[in-house]
């Protein structure tokens, strides 16, 4: 009798595995190119994955790291990814070079573009960068938008030396005094303060110096938009539900992130994530939903890039973005 019970249990288990495999086979694969290694503003996608928001909509989503916006855009444009995270300025520049992509949802409604320096050798205004070294990967969004910042602030670019570093080496480059500055988002502050100490890292937000433009966004390829519109709509809906849950309960989000990506440093990730949430707590998102793109701000961002970056051709605002695939995802009633 006992042996029969064991066999029955084994049969049930095998049947459950088979059903799960069949269900997985029935899902549509969707690759999402993150813009970086694991950082706090990636938590939403792991939350959506963990809570089944993607699978409930028939998607089998794979999240892949990249080495900056240039890298994630290249993956989307060459069909190695269906959608990805990228800085809007880099998207506009890519469109000028005939990339077949479009912004389909926004992440940060306020810009996080910034330069970090040490308190010992502070860089507090753009002209302070002359005669200094500044580090970033070649594909980094701020490095690509740099010409616009130079022209807007009359920096002598010949006096600024860029140093190539891998994404994960930015922090060490500044902490070990190998460079004078690092181009990185304001949300990265906790990563720099860990080795350098609280209060020893200075920020120079670009928004304070004429570059308040759209930044981190979700992009999709023309192929994804035309051939898989429903998959894209489903992905965005699930992703922004993930963001809603991050806003509603950041600590739960970090716990899920840690479960999915065990190597993350929880205190750093949480602080980093909360800085990102500040960039999303805006009247635009409160009124129109998380991820909504305002035409006026986008067109101003496009004008800025067209004016200051040496693009091979002018990019029209209408070619850059669409709200067509967005479903309204309301902000949580009382974010923590």
Residue 264, domain CATH: 3.40.190.10
Q: What is the pLDDT of residue 282?
A: 92
pLDDT reported for residue 14: 43
Last residue of a domain, one of 177, 209, 241: 209
321: confidence class by pLDDT, cuts 50, 70, 90: very high
Q: How many Å apart are CA 78 and CA 33, to the nearest integer? A: 12
In a domain, 279, yes or no: yes
87 and 119 together in one domain: no
Residues 152 and 296 in one domain: no
Looking up tokens 């040490």 gives 118
For 264-293, give one letter per residue: b (16+ CB within 10 A) or e.
beeebbbbbbbbbbebbebebbeebbbbbb
Q: Phi/psi of residue 116, each to 5°?
A: -100, 145
Together in a domain, 62 and 122 = no
Residue 295 and residue 276 in one domain: yes
Structure tokens at 24: 């997985």
Note whether residue 19 is domain-resident: no
**225 and 301 together in one domain:** yes
* Angle 21-22-24 from CA coordinates, rounded to 5°: 65
13: in domain? no
Q: How far apart are CA 191 and CA 265, in angstroms?
A: 10
Going by DSSP bridges, is the β-strand pair 114-118/101-106 parallel, antiparallel, or unpaired? unpaired
Does residue 54 lie within any of the structural domains?
yes
Same-domain pairing of 222 and 296 = yes
* Measured distance CA(64)–CA(297) in Å, rounded: 29
Measure the CA–CA gap between 188 and 244, rounded to whole angstroms: 21
Domain assignment of residue 269, given as a range: 27-109+214-319
32 domain residue, yes or no:
yes
- What average pLDDT does the segment 263-285 reach? 94
Q: Are residues 58 and 155 in the same domain?
A: no
For residue range 55-103, what is the model confidence (pLDDT) as tens digits? Answer: 999 999 999 999 889 999 999 999 999 999 999 999 999 999 999 999 9
pLDDT band at 18 (very low <50, low <70, confident <90, very high): very low
Residue 269 predicted with pLDDT over 90: yes
Taking Cα atoms as reference points, which of 179, 203, 205, 178 lies closest to residue 190?
203
Same domain, 101 and 232: yes
Helices (H), 279-327: 283-288, 295-308
Q: Is residue 48 very low, low, confident or very high in pLDDT (cuts 50, 70, 90)? A: very high
Four-point Cα dihedral 188, 42, 162, 117, nearest 10: 0
Residue 22 lies in a domain: no
Looking at the structure, tell me whether residues 98 and 220 fall in a common domain. Answer: yes
């Amino acid at each position: 009798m006992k042996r029969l019970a064991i066999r029955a249990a084994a049969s049930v288990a095998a049947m459950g595995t088979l059903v799960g495999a069949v269900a997985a086979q029935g899902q549509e694969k969707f690759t999402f190119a993150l813009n970086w290694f694991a950082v706090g503003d990636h938590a939403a996608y792991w939350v959506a994955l963990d809570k089944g928001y993607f699978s409930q909509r028939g998607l089998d989503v794979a999240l892949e790291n990249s080495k900056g916006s240039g890298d994630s855009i290249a993956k989307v444009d060459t069909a190695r990814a269906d959608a990805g995270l990228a800085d809007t300025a880099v998207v506009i520049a890519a469109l000028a070079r005939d990339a077949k992509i479009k912004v389909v949802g926004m992440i940060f409604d306020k810009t996080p573009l910034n330069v970090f320096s040490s308190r010992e050798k502070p860089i507090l205004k753009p002209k302070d960068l002359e005669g200094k070294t500044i580090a970033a990967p070649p594909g980094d969004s701020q490095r690509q938008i740099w010409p616009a910042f130079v022209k807007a602030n009359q920096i002598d670019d010949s006096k600024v030396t860029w140093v190539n570093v891998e994404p994960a080496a930015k922090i060490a480059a500044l902490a070990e005094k190998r460079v004078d500055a690092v181009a990185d988002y304001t949300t990265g502050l906790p990563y720099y303060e860990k080795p350098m100490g609280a209060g020893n890292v200075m920020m120079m937000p670009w928004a304070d110096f004429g570059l308040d433009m759209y930044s981190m966004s979700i992009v999709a390829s023309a192929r994804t938009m035309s051939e898989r519109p429903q998959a894209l709509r489903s992905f965005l809906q699930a992703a922004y539900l993930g963001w809603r849950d991050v806003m509603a309960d950041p600590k739960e989000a970090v716990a899920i992130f840690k479960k999915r990506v065990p190597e993350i440093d929880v205190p750093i990730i949480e602080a980093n994530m909360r800085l990102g949430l500040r960039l999303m707590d805006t009247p635009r998102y409160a009124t129109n939903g998380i991820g909504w793109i305002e035409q006026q701000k986008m067109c101003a961002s496009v004008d800025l890039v067209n004016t200051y970056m040496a693009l091979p051709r002018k990019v029209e605002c209408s070619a850059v973005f669409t709200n067509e695939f967005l479903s309204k995802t309301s902000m949580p009633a009382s974010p923590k």
